[in-house]
Structure 1
Amino acid sequence: MGSRGVAISLFSGAGGLDLGTEKAGYEVAAAVEHNADAAATMEKNFTHLQSEVIRRDILKVPTSELLHAAGLSAGQRPDLLIGGPPCTPFSKSGFWLEWKRSGLDPDASLLQAYTRILDEAKPRAFVLENVYALTYNNKASRPAYERLLREIDQAGYHFAAKVLNAADLGVPQARPRLFVVGVPKGEKLPELPEAKHGGSWERRVTGSSDRPHVTAGEALAGLVTEPEPEEQLRGQYAHLLADIPPGGNYLHYTAEKGHPDPLFKWRSRYWSFLLKLDPDKPSPTIQAQPGPNVGPFHWENRRLRVPEMRRLFTFPDDFDFVGTRSSIQAQLGNSVPPLLARQVVERVAEVASN
């Protein structure tokens, strides 16, 4: 058992939140993950799990099975519950779909799977992670977010919620995520971590002025990688990437940027279209399932290689992913950077372990 006790992991993915949880002193003893490759990645890297990763639909997994898988007997409760329910209905990049904006995505019910287990398992503390767009004041996000907080309250917990940009906490990637943490009512409430780094992000300044953001160039320094078959861009726009400067995107080819032969209208594409890394800044958010022309791409005019993405998410270099190149990108793109997770869980542990 970890020095701070047993954790149960829901929606585990490849284990980014889990890895940070273990670095903070807990032992992840049981995990639920429906995706076969992600579950295999968990089992390959978390060899001390009390049982195999539960690979079923979480809506059909009783809490009693989870507790048994974690090695807990009747009457025992976990020290920590962690998880990040899939963000499909609330993802900012998905709001162009009317059925998602209208809150009709069935994946929204996975938030209730989390609160059901929270209510039944009665952990000593919990950490829930999700996309920050869940907090948006629109007809898809707002009712779902309010219901989530209401169900946490009904389960007997009070909580703190905050959007954290991973770059502000030392991750070489600008990745804003919502964290909700809590403990039983009557106990001291954890405080989420404050920014330790700062810099520009999406046309504004974020974080702390004490230290600059960790840059992509710093994160990838000294990393030796082998070429990957999928790294070369192909298709109608592939040849355009070479002329785009580091940190730039398709706007390089607009009249507003002074291009002599404009190919695109101003703000006619999503911002990450033909987006290139700047070695002097953190990476922009790396998506799980980017389109063929969606970056960030390496400043060497190619797709990022798996070892490079691993660094930009703060996974250890020896963390072994299972699956195809596209599967691994999806696992990474859906993950919580372990360095960010560790700092969140450490703040929870400071209260819950006392």
Structure 2
Amino acid sequence: MSASRIAISLFSGAGGLDLGAEQAGYAVAAAVERDHDAAATMEKNFSHLQAPVIQADILDVPTTDILAAAGLSQGQRPDLLIGGPPCTPFSKSGFWLDWKRAGLDPDASLLQAYTRVLAEARPRAFVLENVYALTYNNKASRPAYERLLREIDAAGYDWRAKVMNAADHGVPQARPRLFVIGVPRGERLPEHPDATHGGTWERRASGSVERPHVTAGEALEGLVTDPEPEEQLRGQYAALLADVPPGGNYLHYTEERGHADPLFKWRSRYWSFLLKLDPARPSPTIQAQPGPNVGPFHWDNRRLRVAEAKRLFTYPDSFEFVGTRASVQAQLGNSVPPLLARQVIQQITDAAS
């Protein structure tokens, strides 16, 4: 193996965190991902894997199997543990469901799968990523978050937690995520990276004044793509997109915005309904499973093509995804932008040097 620092990956998805780890000097030697397409994407793009991706439910995978897949013998510790447990129970977009608000989603236990591997594998550092709604003070999120932090402490690790907006770190997408980083108790605890870019996010200043956010127009400039069969909107609202201005959404068709023939009530839909990219701003958050009229859509009045979505997540153009268009959308929408992951993990690399 060419890299000296060994990482193991849980809930790997398509490998956004993993790509950032490799760019920061780690070799991802083992990965656990139960989705077949995402696992195939990992195997296609990561050369340091010592064995095929473990395609199984993490709850059924012993830590010893993960370490063995990484080529680590008994008593050897990985240098880094990374992973983003599925965010279904805590995602802000799902709080309209009573059972989510009550904290009854069984996927919440996947946080405990991460801390179980943390306690048993004893990595020299870890990064856990999740939706920032995990930090909300409600019945679904707060008990789970506090339990997570208690278990990290019980495993013998010091930690820092911070919500970071990807756009503040050079990613052409406004994507707030929670990053918990840590090291064994008593060792030098890294800081989260400082913002490198800044601008307006949710009507307030965000990030650094040194450089403006990277815009969607800048990210997609010069990219030549072929049309995709799934890119055209269909259904009763499809024709409405053409008149929505860049950066606008369904509110264009409201009385409050001065529309002559209002079609929607103010704030009657999700903000992402008929949402269109503005080439002069970062992309809004790209979702894993958007509805048929949920954006962001391209300013050319169509869905984003795969190559365009990759640019907005900072995946290399050469990165290959496996699966149907819906599967690739899910893999992208569930992933961590590699550029952001690299900056977070680079802090760990530098602290260990």
Common topology (TM > 0.5): yes
Give the SS at the match of 1:327: helix
What's the offset of the Cα at 1:234? 0.4
State the match for 1:68 in structure 2. 68
State the match for 2:257 in structure 1. 257
State the match for 1:39 in structure 2. 39
State the match for 2:343 in structure 1. 343
Measure, in 2, the Cα distance between the counterparts of 1:194 and 1:74: 38
| Counterpart residue type for residue 19 of structure 2 | L
CA contact (8 A) 1:4 1:349 kept: no
State the match for 2:190 in structure 1. 190
Give the SS at the match of 2:78: coil
TM-score (norm 1): 0.99
What's the offset of the Cα at 1:194? 1.1
Once the two structures are superposed, the pairs formed by residues 33-112 of structure 1 within 5 Å of their partners are 33-112=33-112
Give the SS at the match of 2:9: strand
State the match for 1:114 in structure 2. 114
Measure, in 2, the Cα distance between the counterparts of 1:39 and 1:142: 31
State the match for 2:132 in structure 1. 132
State the match for 1:157 in structure 2. 157
Measure, in 2, the Cα distance between the counterparts of 1:348 and 1:132: 21
User: Greater CA deviation, 203-212 or 19-28?
Assistant: 203-212
Once the two structures are superposed, the pairs formed by residues 281-320 of structure 1 within 5 Å of their partners are 281-320=281-320
Measure, in 2, the Cα distance between the counterparts of 1:171 and 1:222: 17
Give the SS at the match of 1:312: helix
What's the offset of the Cα at 1:188? 1.0
What's the offset of the Cα at 1:2? 5.3
Once the two structures are superposed, the pairs formed by residues 208-227 of structure 1 within 5 Å of their partners are 208-227=208-227
Measure, in 2, the Cα distance between the counterparts of 1:142 and 1:195: 26
Measure, in 1, the Cα distance between the counterparts of 2:287 and 2:250: 18
What's the offset of the Cα at 1:3? 4.2
After superposition, give the CA deviation of every residue in 1:152-200 in whole Å (9 maximum; x if it has no partner): 0000001000000000000000000000000000111110011111111
State the match for 1:17 in structure 2. 17
Measure, in 2, the Cα distance between the counterparts of 1:237 and 1:206: 33
Measure, in 1, the Cα distance between the counterparts of 2:350 and 2:117: 23
Give the SS at the match of 2:245: coil
After superposition, give the CA deviation of every residue in 1:269-293 in whole Å (9 maximum; x if it has no partner): 0000000000000000000000000
Aligned-residue Cα RMSD (Å) equals 0.7
State the match for 2:329 in structure 1. 329
| Counterpart residue type for residue 180 of structure 1 | V
Q: 4+ residue stretches of structure 1 with deviation over 6 A? A: none
Give the SS at the match of 2:266: coil
Measure, in 2, the Cα distance between the counterparts of 1:50 and 1:162: 32
What's the offset of the Cα at 1:84? 0.2
Give the SS at the match of 1:340: helix
After superposition, give the CA deviation of every residue in 1:319-353 in whole Å (9 maximum; x if it has no partner): 000000000000000000000000000001112x2
Length, aligned pairs only: 353
Measure, in 1, the Cα distance between the counterparts of 2:153 and 2:65: 24
Give the SS at the match of 1:22: helix
| Counterpart residue type for residue 54 of structure 1 | I
After superposition, give the CA deviation of every residue in 1:192-247 in whole Å (9 maximum; x if it has no partner): 01111111112222111111000000000000000000000000100000000000
Distance 1:149 1:280, change over 3 A: same
TM-score (norm 2): 0.99
| Counterpart residue type for residue 206 of structure 1 | S
Give the SS at the match of 1:19: helix
Measure, in 1, the Cα distance between the counterparts of 2:117 and 2:87: 18
Measure, in 1, the Cα distance between the counterparts of 2:62 and 2:48: 22
What's the offset of the Cα at 1:48? 2.7
Gaps of 5+ in 1: none
